[in-house]
Chains A and B, each alone.
Chain A
Amino acid sequence: MILPREAKGSGFASFRTRLLLAMMLVVSAVAAAGLLFAQRNVAANVRRDFQREFQAELAALHAIQDERHAVLAERCRALARRPRIHAALEDGALDLLYPSARDELVDLMAAGDGAPREAGAFALHALYYRFLDGRGRVISPPNARDVGELGPGEESRLSLGALPDGPQTGYLERGRGSPGGTIDEVIAMPIISTESGEVISAIVLGFRAAGMGGGRADFRSGIWLDGRLHLPSLPEPVRGGIAAEAARAIAADRTEGGSEVRVGGEPYLLFCMRLNPGSLFPPAYEVSIFSLADSLARRRLLLWQFAGACGLLLLGALLASHLLSGRLSEPVERLAVDSEENRAQRHRAEAALESTSRELQRSARFSADASHQLKTPVTVLRAGLEELLAGEYLSSEAREEVSALVHQTFRLAGVIEDLLLLSRMDAGRLQIQFSRLDLTPLVEAWLDDLGALPDPLDLKVEADYPPSLCISGEKRYASIILQNLLENARKYNRAGGRIRIAARADGAWAVLTVGNTGRPVPAAAQEHIFERFHRGAVGENVPGHGIGLNLARELARLHGGDLRLARSDEDWTEFEVRFRLAPSAGGPGETP
Chain B
Amino acid sequence: MTPPSLRRAAALLAMLAVPAAALAQAAVEGRVELPKGLHAPVMNKRYGIVAFGGVLSPFPPVAVVYLEGAFPRPAAPPTAQMVQKDLMFLPWLLPVQVGTRVEFPNLDDTYHNIFSYSPAKRFDLGRYRSDERPIPSVLFDVPGLVTLHCDIHEHMRALILVVDTPHFVVSDPQGRYRLDGLPAGRYVLKAWLDSKTTLERPVLTQSGSTLHADFP
Residues in A neighbouring B116, C-beta threshold 8 A: 87, 91
Is A71 at the interface (CB under 8 A from chain B)? Answer: no
Contact call A83/B119, Cβ cutoff below 8 A: no
Is B128 at the interface (CB under 8 A from chain A)? Answer: no
Is B198 at the interface (CB under 8 A from chain A)? Answer: no
In the bound assembly, the distance between CA atoms of A196 and B52 in angstroms comes to: 5
Chain A CB within 10 A, most for which of B55, B117, B155 = B117
Residues in A neighbouring B54, C-beta threshold 8 A: 90, 193, 195-196, 198
Q: Interface of chain B, helix or strand or loop or mixed? A: strand
Is B150 at the interface (CB under 8 A from chain A)? Answer: yes
Of all chain A residues, the one with the shortest Cβ separation from B51 is A195
Of all chain B residues, the one with the shortest Cβ separation from A87 is B117
Contact call B117/A96, Cβ cutoff below 8 A: yes
Is A259 at the interface (CB under 8 A from chain B)? Answer: no
Residues in A neighbouring B149, C-beta threshold 8 A: 83-84, 86-87
Residues in A neighbouring B154, C-beta threshold 8 A: 81-83, 86, 194
Of all chain B residues, the one with the shortest Cβ separation from A94 is B117
Given A194-B51, A196-B52: A84 in contact with B119 (beta carbons within 8 A) = no
Interface size class of chain A, counting residues whose CB lies under 8 Å from the partner chain: 10 to 19
In the bound assembly, the distance between CA atoms of A553 and B50 in angstroms comes to: 150
Residues in A neighbouring B134, C-beta threshold 8 A: none
Interface size class of chain B, counting residues whose CB lies under 8 Å from the partner chain: 10 to 19
In the bound assembly, the distance between CA atoms of A100 and B122 in angstroms comes to: 13
Give B contacts to A, CB under 8 Å.
51-56, 115-119, 122, 147, 149-151, 153-155
Contact call B52/A93, Cβ cutoff below 8 A: no
In the bound assembly, the distance between CA atoms of A96 and B51 in angstroms comes to: 22
Is A88 at the interface (CB under 8 A from chain B)? Answer: yes
Excluding A86-B149, A87-B149, A91-B116, 11 further A-B contacts by CB distance (< 8 Å) are: A81-B154, A82-B151, A82-B154, A84-B149, A87-B115, A87-B117, A92-B117, A193-B51, A193-B54, A196-B51, A198-B54
Q: How many Å from the CB of B120 to the closest CB on chain A?
A: 10
Q: Interface of chain A, helix or strand or loop or mixed? A: loop
Q: How many Å from the CB of A165 to the closest CB on chain B?
A: 18
Q: How many Å from the CB of A91 to the closest CB on chain B?
A: 4
Q: How many Å from the CB of B138 to the closest CB on chain A?
A: 15
Contact call B51/A84, Cβ cutoff below 8 A: no
Of all chain A residues, the one with the shortest Cβ separation from B145 is A91
Q: How many Å from the CB of B116 to the closest CB on chain A?
A: 7
In the bound assembly, the distance between CA atoms of A83 and B51 in angstroms comes to: 15
17 A-B contacts, Cβ less than 8 Å apart? Answer: A83-B151, A84-B115, A87-B115, A87-B116, A90-B54, A90-B147, A91-B116, A93-B117, A93-B118, A100-B117, A193-B54, A194-B51, A194-B154, A195-B55, A195-B56, A196-B51, A198-B54
Contact call B119/A92, Cβ cutoff below 8 A: yes
Contact call A87/B147, Cβ cutoff below 8 A: yes
Chain A, range 58-98, C-beta contacts under 8 Å to B:
81-84, 86-88, 90-93, 96
Of all chain B residues, the one with the shortest Cβ separation from A103 is B151
Contact call A194/B122, Cβ cutoff below 8 A: no
Residues in A neighbouring B153, C-beta threshold 8 A: 83
Residues in A neighbouring B56, C-beta threshold 8 A: 195
Of all chain B residues, the one with the shortest Cβ separation from A81 is B154
Of all chain B residues, the one with the shortest Cβ separation from A84 is B151
Q: How many Å from the CB of A397 to the closest CB on chain B?
A: 182
Contact call A91/B147, Cβ cutoff below 8 A: yes
Contact call B155/A194, Cβ cutoff below 8 A: yes
Of all chain A residues, the one with the shortest Cβ separation from B155 is A194
Of all chain A residues, the one with the shortest Cβ separation from B153 is A83
In the bound assembly, the distance between CA atoms of A498 and B51 in angstroms comes to: 165
Residues in A neighbouring B150, C-beta threshold 8 A: 83
7 cross-chain pairs, A with B, having the tightest CB-CB distances, nearest first: A195-B51, A93-B117, A91-B117, A87-B117, A83-B154, A196-B54, A83-B149
In the bound assembly, the distance between CA atoms of A90 and B55 in angstroms comes to: 10
Residues in A neighbouring B147, C-beta threshold 8 A: 87, 90-91
Of all chain B residues, the one with the shortest Cβ separation from A197 is B51
Of all chain B residues, the one with the shortest Cβ separation from A92 is B119
Binary per-residue interface labels of chain A (193-213) against chain B in the complex, 1 for a CB within 8 Å, 0 otherwise: 111101000000000000000
Contact call A91/B155, Cβ cutoff below 8 A: no
Contact call A196/B53, Cβ cutoff below 8 A: yes
